Amino acid sequence: MFALIWLDAVLDDLANLYVSAGAEERARMAAAIEALNTRLRNDPLAEGESREGNLRITFIPLLAVTFHVSAVDRVVHVIGVQRFGR
C-alpha cells in the first residue's frame, strides 16, 4: 500500500474544474477520482504512462492527472491535474 498525497495547489485546481463542470460531469469526475485514488494507493506503477524519471500521467474521464511515484518511500504525490477530453 502506498501513501497518497495530493498537493494543495492541485486540489485547488481540481476544485475549480469540478465547480465549473455540469452536474453530470461532476458525477463522472468524482467517480473517476475515487477509483484513481484506490489504484494509486494499491499499485501506482501500473497506472497510466511513464514519463521522465518517476513521473507518470494518467487519463481518466474528463481529466489528465500527473503524479510522482517514490517506490522506495512508498509514496505517491499527485502534482498536476487538468481538463482533458469530454
What's the mean pLDDT when you consider all of the chain? Answer: 96
Q: What is the CATH number of the domain that holds 75?
A: 3.30.2310.20
Residue 26 belongs to domain spanning: 3-83
Other beta carbons less than 10 A from residue 17's beta carbon:
17
pLDDT, position 60? 96
Please answer whether residues 8 and 78 qualify as being in contact, where contact means their C-beta atoms are separated by less than 8 angstroms: no
Residue 53's pLDDT is: 86
Sign of the Cα torsion 9, 10, 16, 19 reads negative
pLDDT more than 90, % of the chain: 94
* Number of domain units in the chain: 1
Average confidence (pLDDT) over 8-36:
96
Amino acid (one-letter) located at 52: E
> Per-residue pLDDT averaged across 52-80, rounded?
96
Q: Does residue 17 contact residue 85 with C-beta atoms inside 8 Å?
A: no
